């Protein structure tokens, strides 16, 4: 007990020392006169900050290859590119298969309003959507009906034949709440919010009374002869919706922007009989192999202990997968480039995992953890990044309270310009499944999420069509890659193995203590329609 107390005390003494170097008034960004007692740290800074390759790497990944949907040819292209890039740098890399997934290729698509006036709509065919059979289809748009119960819905279903059915709540305004707060009268803003909440609640009840849910409702509609399904899940930002995958199997599903969905909904509500024309090309490819990309710098002294760099390669495919998670992919790729030049013979083995199918439930990283228990057992530290373009702003020992001492020592050796924004939280809590570090921390392995500052991530780029190259801040991305390279080096060299002792009490809900998360099982065979 005394030993545990002393270790914690040392960690808390070190943690403020690292945190103190993060605030204004301390040393600014290292320039030509930057010095460090550690020549490896100095060299990492030089390569990461003065000759960064993040822009070039991101441009190829995001503009040329594009989004990387699981089961798609683009994911295969991205995997090939990563392996070839690593090998060109002299780093061993491989594609490691863990299962299969339904393959799908996106083609051309459009959707236009044809009556009562003509307008090209901002719409996207959802991932895994069926096509329109090589020709445009045209029909009236109707709204999901407000029925009394599931029996009434079954009686209504023949009315969907030959129609496009809009199934989501049509927002009354697509102007963000921030603008309403700033410019509207307070009474106007409050009334708008109250009316909108009441209408949203009523729409949710409308959906519930059909007896179907988000997955089964589109299937019921296509079985009834609908021409297609229209969706729109507003993110709260101008023109932006959350875009996931279709559930239909024979007819197309289109997501419309908040504004254009509202347009066709109002026309339908007011009996102005909107008609749309839609065209969709797509191809189902059958079961495709699913794989992670794994690269490695073998350890020289402790080859069976590991430092893991971690980010998911897959993305949704409405945008380019830039901040979710092209940034994480490029950060880990660039960190490995730097480490190969500066630290080619690490003390511990350094691995990087570019995971597949994170978006469907951490399947790639869970598959890797299940297939490599020796790596999980020998993990010294994992650093996982998965939330946007901003500078790394949060880091914690994830509930492994004695690991705080290691993290604090590493941060204390990193230039203040890189650590200044970091909120170092002790003792932290383990990830319950939000990103791939959860696949390792569930076993008690030291897997840490390095969280970025928001940059309007959840409002504008997370799972949206706006998640594109232009949203990246490359000064932040290159600093993150430099920081990850330094932390990886320091974790590899640390003479002390990171403790796996867990905090005794985890925060839970409603004042009850929480429990350590259990490890989930990967889906190794994807559904015919996700």
Summarize pLDDT for 21-49 with one digit per residue, the tens. 332 222 344 544 456 789 999 999 999 99
Q: What is the pLDDT, as a whole number, of residue 23? A: 26
Split at pLDDT 50, 70, 90, the class of 11 is very low
Q: What is the pLDDT, as a whole number, of residue 30? A: 54
Split at pLDDT 50, 70, 90, the class of 530 is low
Determine the longest span between alpha carbons in the chain, in angstroms.
78
Mean pLDDT, rounded, for 184-213: 98
Specify the higher pLDDT residue, 419 or 4.
419
Q: What is the pLDDT, as a whole number, of residue 43? A: 97
* Torsion, CA 458, CA 463, CA 469, CA 472, rounded to 10: 20
* 285 three-state secondary structure: strand
Q: What is the pLDDT, as a whole number, of residue 511? A: 79
Split at pLDDT 50, 70, 90, the class of 529 is low
Split at pLDDT 50, 70, 90, the class of 512 is confident
Q: What are phi and psi of 142, to 5 degrees?
A: -125, 160
Could you state, in order of their start, the residue ranges of all structural domains in the chain? 33-102+287-503, 117-273
Q: Which residue(s) pair with 137 in the sheet?
A: 278
**Encoded tokens for 263:** 């347009």
**Are 277 and 112 contacting, i.e. CB atoms less than 8 angstroms apart?**
yes
For residue range 228-240, list pLDDT tens digits in order: 999 999 999 998 9
Name the residue among 417, 95, 126, 132 with its Cα closest to residue 288: 95
C-alpha pair distances (Å), 259 with each of 163, 256, 280, 295:
21, 8, 21, 44
Q: Which residues are within 8 A (CB) of 144 and not within 5 positions of it... i.e. 6 or more apart?
A: 165, 166, 167, 206, 207, 210, 217
Helix, strand, coil percent values for the chain (each to nearest 5): 40, 20, 40
**Encoded tokens for 495:** 């003479």
H-state helical runs in 429-511: 438-441, 474-493
| Per-chain mean pLDDT for the chain | 93
Name the residue among 451, 79, 32 with its Cα closest to residue 292: 79
Mean pLDDT, rounded, for 56-77: 98
DSSP notation for 388-441: -SSPEEEE--TT-GGGHHHHHHHHHTS-HHHHTT-EE-SS-----SSSTTHHHH
CATH code matching the domain that covers 33-102+287-503, chosen among 3.30.365.10, 3.40.630.10, 3.30.460.80, 3.90.1150.10: 3.40.630.10
**Encoded tokens for 185:** 């009268």
Split at pLDDT 50, 70, 90, the class of 528 is low
Name the residue among 34, 41, 28 with its Cα closest to residue 485: 41
Which strand (E) or helix (H) includes residue 338? helix 327-342
CA–CA separation, 194 and 200 (whole Å): 10
Q: Output DSSP code: residue 85.
A: H
pTM > 0.75: yes or no? yes
For residue range 86-115, list pLDDT tens digits in order: 999 999 999 999 999 999 999 999 999 999
**Are 443 and 376 contacting, i.e. CB atoms less than 8 angstroms apart?**
yes
CA–CA separation, 264 and 37 (whole Å): 65
pLDDT greater than 90 at residue 440: yes
**Are 424 and 205 contacting, i.e. CB atoms less than 8 angstroms apart?**
no
Calculate what percentage of the chain has a pLDDT beyond 70: 93
Beta-strand ranges (E) seen in 208-347 are: 228-231, 253-256, 275-297, 302-312
Q: What is the pLDDT, as a whole number, of residue 508? A: 86
Per-residue HEC secondary structure of 111-130 comes to: EEEEECCCEECCEEECECCC
C-alpha pair distances (Å), 228 with each of 141, 161, 163, 231, 253:
9, 10, 7, 10, 6
* Torsion, CA 362, CA 366, CA 368, CA 373, rounded to 10: 160
CA–CA separation, 159 and 157 (whole Å): 5
CATH code matching the domain that covers 117-273, chosen among 3.50.30, 3.40.640, 1.10.10, 1.10.405: 3.50.30
For residue range 310-351, list pLDDT tens digits in order: 999 999 999 999 999 999 999 999 999 999 999 999 999 999
Split at pLDDT 50, 70, 90, the class of 6 is very low
For residue range 117-131, list pLDDT tens digits in order: 999 999 999 999 999
* 32 three-state secondary structure: coil
pLDDT greater than 50 at residue 443: yes
CA–CA separation, 380 and 514 (whole Å): 25
Measured from the Cβ of residue 30, the count of other Cβ atoms closer than 10 Å reads: 18
* Torsion, CA 319, CA 322, CA 323, CA 328, rounded to 10: 140
């Amino acid at each position: 007990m005394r030993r545990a107390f002393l270790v914690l005390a040392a960690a808390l003494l070190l943690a403020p020392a690292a945190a103190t170097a993060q605030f204004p008034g301390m040393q600014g960004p290292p320039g030509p006169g930057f010095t460090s007692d550690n020549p490896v740290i100095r060299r990492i800074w030089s390569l990461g900050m003065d000759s960064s390759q993040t822009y070039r790497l991101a441009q190829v990944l995001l503009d040329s290859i594009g989004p990387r949907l699981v089961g798609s040819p683009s994911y295969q292209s991205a995997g090939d590119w990563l392996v070839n890039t690593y090998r060109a740098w002299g780093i061993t890399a491989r594609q490691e298969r863990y299962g299969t997934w339904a393959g799908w290729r996106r083609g051309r698509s459009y959707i236009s309003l044809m009556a009562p006036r003509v307008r090209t709509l901002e719409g996207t065919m959802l991932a895994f959507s069926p096509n329109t059979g090589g020709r445009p289809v045209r029909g009236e748009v109707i709204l999901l009906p407000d029925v009394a119960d599931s029996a009434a819905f079954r009686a209504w279903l023949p009315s969907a034949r030959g129609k496009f059915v809009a199934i989501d709540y049509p927002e009354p305004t697509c102007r963000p709440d921030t603008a309403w707060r700033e410019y509207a009268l307070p009474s106007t803003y409050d009334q708008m919010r109250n009316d909108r909440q009441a209408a949203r609640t009523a729409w949710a009840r409308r959906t519930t009374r059909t007896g179907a849910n988000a997955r089964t409702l589109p299937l019921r509609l296509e079985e009834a002869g609908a021409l297609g399904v229209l969706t729109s899940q507003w993110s709260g930002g101008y023109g932006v919706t959350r875009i996931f995958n279709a559930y239909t199997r024979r007819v197309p599903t289109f997501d419309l922007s908040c504004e254009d969905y509202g347009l066709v909904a109002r026309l339908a509500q007011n009996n102005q009989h909107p008609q749309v024309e839609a065209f969709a090309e797509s191809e189902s490819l059958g079961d495709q192999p699913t794989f992670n990309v794994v690269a490695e710098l073998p350890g020289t002294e402790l080859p069976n202990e590991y430092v893991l760099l971690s980010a998911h390669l897959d993305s949704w495919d409405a945008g380019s997968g830039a901040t979710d998670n092209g940034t994480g992919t490029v950060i880990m790729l660039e960190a490995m480039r730097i480490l190969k030049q500066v630290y080619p013979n690490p003390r511990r083995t350094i691995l990087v995992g570019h995971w597949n199918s994170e978006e469907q439930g951490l399947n790639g990283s869970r598959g890797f953890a299940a297939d490599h228990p020796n790596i999980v057992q020998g993990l010294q530290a994992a650093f996982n990044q998965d939330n946007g373009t901003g500078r790394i702003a949060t880091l914690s020992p994830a509930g492994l309270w004695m690991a705080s001492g290691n993290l604090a020592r590493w941060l204390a050796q990193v230039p203040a310009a890189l650590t200044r924004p970091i909120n170092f939280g002790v003792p932290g809590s383990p990830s319950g499944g939000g990103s791939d570090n959860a696949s390792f921390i569930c076993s008690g392995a030291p897997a840490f999420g390095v969280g970025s500052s928001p940059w309007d991530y959840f409002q504008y780029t997370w799972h949206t069509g706006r998640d594109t190259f232009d949203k990246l801040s490359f000064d932040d991305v290159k600093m993150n890659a430099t920081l990850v390279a330094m932390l990886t080096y320091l974790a590899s060299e640390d003479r002390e193995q990171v403790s796996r002792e867990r905090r005794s009490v985890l925060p839970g809900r409603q004042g009850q203590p929480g429990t350590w998360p259990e490890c989930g099982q990967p889906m190794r065979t994807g559904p015919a329609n996700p």
